[in-house]
Amino acid sequence: MSNIATSKRKVAIIASHGGLDEAYPSLILANAARQSGIEAFVFFTFWGLDIITESKVDHLHVNLAGNASSGMPTMIAGLPGMESLAAKMMRKQMEELELPSVREMLQILDESGAELYACELAMKMFKRSKEDLLPQVKDVITAGDFYDLADGAQIIFT
Protein backbone atom coordinates (compact mmCIF):
# COMPACT_ATOMS: atom_id res chain seq x y z
CA MET A 1 0.00 0.00 0.00
CA SER A 2 1.33 3.43 -0.95
CA ASN A 3 1.89 6.24 1.53
CA ILE A 4 1.56 8.86 -1.19
CA ALA A 5 -1.00 11.44 -0.09
CA THR A 6 -3.67 12.13 -2.62
CA SER A 7 -3.92 15.79 -3.53
CA LYS A 8 -7.26 17.54 -3.77
CA ARG A 9 -8.30 18.33 -7.35
CA LYS A 10 -8.63 22.01 -8.19
CA VAL A 11 -9.63 24.04 -11.24
CA ALA A 12 -9.08 27.73 -12.00
CA ILE A 13 -11.28 29.16 -14.75
CA ILE A 14 -10.52 32.46 -16.48
CA ALA A 15 -13.64 34.17 -17.87
CA SER A 16 -12.56 36.94 -20.24
CA HIS A 17 -15.64 37.31 -22.45
CA GLY A 18 -18.92 38.89 -21.40
CA GLY A 19 -21.52 37.73 -23.91
CA LEU A 20 -24.48 35.63 -22.80
CA ASP A 21 -23.22 32.73 -24.92
CA GLU A 22 -19.72 33.24 -23.53
CA ALA A 23 -20.73 33.34 -19.85
CA TYR A 24 -22.20 29.86 -19.63
CA PRO A 25 -19.09 27.77 -20.46
CA SER A 26 -17.20 29.16 -17.45
CA LEU A 27 -20.17 28.85 -15.13
CA ILE A 28 -21.12 25.35 -16.26
CA LEU A 29 -17.52 24.12 -15.96
CA ALA A 30 -17.23 25.56 -12.44
CA ASN A 31 -20.58 24.03 -11.46
CA ALA A 32 -19.61 20.61 -12.86
CA ALA A 33 -16.33 20.80 -10.93
CA ARG A 34 -18.11 21.52 -7.65
CA GLN A 35 -20.62 18.72 -8.29
CA SER A 36 -17.64 16.41 -8.79
CA GLY A 37 -16.02 17.50 -5.53
CA ILE A 38 -13.35 19.55 -7.29
CA GLU A 39 -12.35 22.90 -5.78
CA ALA A 40 -13.17 25.68 -8.26
CA PHE A 41 -12.68 29.37 -8.66
CA VAL A 42 -13.47 31.71 -11.52
CA PHE A 43 -11.36 34.77 -12.34
CA PHE A 44 -13.37 37.35 -14.30
CA THR A 45 -11.23 39.68 -16.39
CA PHE A 46 -11.73 42.25 -19.16
CA TRP A 47 -15.21 41.86 -20.72
CA GLY A 48 -15.85 38.90 -18.43
CA LEU A 49 -16.40 41.47 -15.66
CA ASP A 50 -19.84 42.12 -17.21
CA ILE A 51 -20.91 38.67 -15.97
CA ILE A 52 -20.42 39.72 -12.33
CA THR A 53 -21.39 43.41 -12.61
CA GLU A 54 -24.78 44.12 -11.02
CA SER A 55 -25.91 46.55 -13.74
CA LYS A 56 -24.92 44.25 -16.61
CA VAL A 57 -25.48 40.60 -15.53
CA ASP A 58 -29.15 40.54 -16.60
CA HIS A 59 -28.50 42.29 -19.92
CA LEU A 60 -25.73 40.23 -21.54
CA HIS A 61 -25.87 40.04 -25.34
CA VAL A 62 -24.98 37.30 -27.81
CA ASN A 63 -22.03 38.43 -29.93
CA LEU A 64 -22.91 37.64 -33.53
CA ALA A 65 -20.73 39.95 -35.64
CA GLY A 66 -17.54 38.16 -36.60
CA ASN A 67 -18.67 34.90 -34.98
CA ALA A 68 -18.19 32.29 -37.69
CA SER A 69 -20.21 29.75 -35.69
CA SER A 70 -23.35 31.92 -35.69
CA GLY A 71 -24.03 31.09 -39.34
CA MET A 72 -25.11 34.67 -39.91
CA PRO A 73 -23.24 36.96 -42.32
CA THR A 74 -21.35 39.70 -40.47
CA MET A 75 -23.22 42.38 -42.44
CA ILE A 76 -26.57 41.15 -41.07
CA ALA A 77 -25.22 40.24 -37.62
CA GLY A 78 -23.99 43.81 -37.17
CA LEU A 79 -27.40 45.38 -37.74
CA PRO A 80 -28.88 47.26 -34.77
CA GLY A 81 -30.87 45.01 -32.45
CA MET A 82 -29.51 41.70 -33.74
CA GLU A 83 -27.46 40.98 -30.60
CA SER A 84 -30.47 41.71 -28.38
CA LEU A 85 -32.71 39.53 -30.54
CA ALA A 86 -30.22 36.66 -30.45
CA ALA A 87 -29.91 37.00 -26.65
CA LYS A 88 -33.71 36.95 -26.29
CA MET A 89 -33.92 33.80 -28.41
CA MET A 90 -31.11 32.14 -26.43
CA ARG A 91 -32.74 33.03 -23.08
CA LYS A 92 -36.01 31.51 -24.31
CA GLN A 93 -34.26 28.29 -25.31
CA MET A 94 -32.42 28.15 -21.97
CA GLU A 95 -35.72 28.56 -20.12
CA GLU A 96 -37.14 25.65 -22.14
CA LEU A 97 -34.12 23.58 -21.06
CA GLU A 98 -34.65 24.79 -17.48
CA LEU A 99 -31.15 26.24 -17.29
CA PRO A 100 -30.67 28.82 -14.54
CA SER A 101 -30.02 32.42 -15.56
CA VAL A 102 -26.47 33.76 -15.30
CA ARG A 103 -27.40 35.49 -12.02
CA GLU A 104 -28.85 32.23 -10.67
CA MET A 105 -25.78 30.26 -11.80
CA LEU A 106 -23.53 32.66 -9.89
CA GLN A 107 -25.67 32.17 -6.77
CA ILE A 108 -25.53 28.38 -7.21
CA LEU A 109 -21.74 28.52 -7.57
CA ASP A 110 -21.39 30.66 -4.47
CA GLU A 111 -23.59 28.31 -2.44
CA SER A 112 -21.62 25.29 -3.66
CA GLY A 113 -18.33 26.74 -2.42
CA ALA A 114 -16.90 27.95 -5.72
CA GLU A 115 -15.02 31.22 -5.35
CA LEU A 116 -15.55 34.15 -7.70
CA TYR A 117 -12.89 36.83 -8.18
CA ALA A 118 -12.64 40.02 -10.24
CA CYS A 119 -9.41 41.14 -11.92
CA GLU A 120 -7.99 44.29 -10.33
CA LEU A 121 -6.44 45.64 -13.55
CA ALA A 122 -9.65 45.14 -15.54
CA MET A 123 -11.62 46.80 -12.74
CA LYS A 124 -9.37 49.86 -13.01
CA MET A 125 -9.54 49.87 -16.83
CA PHE A 126 -13.35 49.76 -16.84
CA LYS A 127 -13.60 52.13 -13.85
CA ARG A 128 -15.54 49.72 -11.68
CA SER A 129 -15.49 49.38 -7.93
CA LYS A 130 -16.21 46.41 -5.67
CA GLU A 131 -19.63 47.98 -4.99
CA ASP A 132 -20.49 47.56 -8.72
CA LEU A 133 -20.11 43.79 -8.42
CA LEU A 134 -22.53 41.11 -7.32
CA PRO A 135 -22.27 40.11 -3.66
CA GLN A 136 -21.09 36.60 -4.62
CA VAL A 137 -17.73 38.03 -5.74
CA LYS A 138 -15.29 37.17 -2.97
CA ASP A 139 -12.63 39.74 -3.81
CA VAL A 140 -10.81 41.83 -6.40
CA ILE A 141 -7.37 40.31 -7.00
CA THR A 142 -4.28 40.80 -9.17
CA ALA A 143 -2.98 38.42 -11.82
CA GLY A 144 -0.25 37.44 -9.34
CA ASP A 145 -2.91 36.60 -6.75
CA PHE A 146 -4.61 34.48 -9.42
CA TYR A 147 -1.43 32.43 -9.88
CA ASP A 148 -1.09 31.98 -6.13
CA LEU A 149 -4.68 30.69 -5.92
CA ALA A 150 -4.20 28.53 -9.02
CA ASP A 151 -1.14 26.75 -7.62
CA GLY A 152 -1.67 23.07 -8.41
CA ALA A 153 -4.91 23.74 -10.29
CA GLN A 154 -5.85 22.93 -13.84
CA ILE A 155 -6.27 26.32 -15.57
CA ILE A 156 -9.05 26.72 -18.14
CA PHE A 157 -9.37 29.85 -20.28
CA THR A 158 -12.82 30.52 -21.71
- CA triplet 155, 22, 66: central angle to 5 degrees? 115
pLDDT tens per residue across span 100-154: 999 999 999 999 999 999 999 999 999 999 999 999 999 999 999 999 999 999 9
Q: CA of 9: how far to CAs of 3, 96, 106, 131, 143, in Å?
A: 18, 33, 21, 32, 21
> Cβ(84)–Cβ(59) under 8 Å?
no
Q: CA of 113: how far to CAs of 37, 144, 156, in Å?
A: 10, 22, 18
Amino acid at 2: S
Q: Report d(CA 29, CA 80) in Å as an integer.
A: 32
Sorted by where each begins, the domain ranges of the chain are 12-60+100-157
User: Under CATH, which architecture does the 12-60+100-157 domain have?
Assistant: 3-Layer(aba) Sandwich (3.40)
pTM for this prediction:
0.86
- CA triplet 15, 143, 61: central angle to 5 degrees? 25
pLDDT tens per residue across span 42-88: 999 999 999 999 999 999 988 765 555 666 666 565 667 766 777 77
